[in-house]
Amino acid sequence: MVKSKSVLNLISNMLNLVLSMALSMWLVPFMINTLGTEAYGFIPLTQQFVSYMTVISVALTSMSGRFFTIARRNDNMLEAETYFNTSLTAASIGSILIGILILFFSLFINKIINVPLYLLRDVRLAFLIYGMVFLIGMLTSIFSDAPFANNKIYLTSIVNIINIL
């Protein structure tokens, strides 16, 4: 049973990786041709900034996920629920604080980096959208603890595959 779950986890993760790579290989040239090189240059910059913020999210969720998994494996559901609720509360408070930072940064992005005036509105909007996607991911990442604790990582991969498609 455990071996079949491991194989299923591996296959679903590989499919997720292949689909992500295929999407990136198609999407990047499409965006460069559609937006132009100057406008497209702000997209990786925005993605990189959001990636730095992801470190905070991973630190938060991995620590709580570890304790949740231990409690779950020991069949201590009350303790597992406590860890889950604490993690969700911390992620919610963190999302509010980071959301304020994202809003502030997007409003004053032209003071921080050099943005051509004709792209300013679009760069602000892109930063806000990427920031919102990050915040949603930060909040929903808490819910991946249960599939991990039960060795059902393929469930998370299936959701990611559906998101890609």
Per-residue confidence (pLDDT) for residue 66, from 0 to 100? 86
**Residue entry with tokens 């993760």:** 13
State the pLDDT at residue 2.
63
Quote the CA–CA distance of 115 and 102 in Å, as a whole number: 17
pLDDT of residue 1: 61
Q: What is the pLDDT of residue 35?
A: 83
Measured CA angle at 134 (ends 132, 139), to 5 deg: 95
C-alpha–C-alpha distance, residues 11 and 122, integer Å: 38
pLDDT of residue 106: 92
Each residue's pLDDT tens digit, 84-102: 999 899 889 989 999 999 9
**Helix (H), strand (E) counts: the chain:** 8, 0
For position 49, what pLDDT does the model report? 83
- Give, for all 165 residues of the chain, the pLDDT tens digit: 667 778 888 888 899 889 888 988 898 888 888 888 888 888 888 888 888 888 877 777 778 888 888 998 899 999 999 989 998 998 899 899 999 999 999 999 999 999 999 999 999 999 999 999 889 888 888 888 888 778 788 888 888 888 777
In one letter, which amino acid is 131? G
pLDDT tens for 24-37 read 889 888 888 888 88
Q: How many residues does the chain have?
A: 165
- Residue from 108, 157, 98 nearest 133 by CA: 98
Burial class (CB in 10 A: 0-12, 13-18, 19+), 83: buried
Tokens of 23: 């999407």
Measure Cα distances from 101 to 25, 58, 80, 94, 156 in Å.
31, 18, 31, 11, 29
Q: Exposed, middle or buried, 52 (CB in 10 Å: 0-12/13-18/19+)?
A: exposed
| Residues 6 or more apart whose Cβ sits within 8 Å of residue 140 | none
